[in-house]
Amino acid sequence: MEDWKIRVSVLWLFDEVAGLGAVILMLMEKDVLAELVEHGTIQGMEMSSEYLLLGAIILLVPLVMAFLTLTLKDSTNRWANIIVGIVLIGLGLIDLPKYLEKPSAYAGVMMLAGWVALVLIVWYAWKSKQKA
């Protein structure tokens, strides 16, 4: 198996763990769980079925990509990693203003860690194309 595929697969898992860590840490903030139980919201956002489904899909993307990175053929693999990586970076940038409204050190660290992983995924996938 090619070295870049293993690196990229691990980076997808790293991105997933960083995202889950951010969610867990956010739930530990003062009054967040109380707000969720009492109002069904987190930081003013309603936790509707549709929102939770979207969250589940977004959480599954890195896990699916970690698997596909190890199983897809090279050309398809590279483009899938480049496209999905760029899309997730874009979604993170769209979400950035929400985090800047109420900045926290843990959210910044976890978000930065996820973005670094995504940028490295795109970089390794792109560089693997040039080696072939």
pLDDT (tens digit per residue) in 45-74: 899 999 999 989 999 999 999 999 999 999
Q: What is the percent of the chain with per-residue pLDDT over 90, rounded to a whole number?
A: 61
What is the predicted pLDDT for the residue at 115?
94
Per residue in 34-45, pLDDT (tens digit) is 898 999 888 778
Please report how the helices 49-71 and 3-27 are oriented relative to each other, as an axis angle in degrees rounded to 10. 160
* Domain definitions of the chain by residue range: 3-131
Helices H, strands E: what count in the chain?
5, 2
- pLDDT tens for 9-41 read 999 999 999 999 988 988 888 888 889 899 988
Q: Is the pLDDT of residue 88 over 70?
A: yes
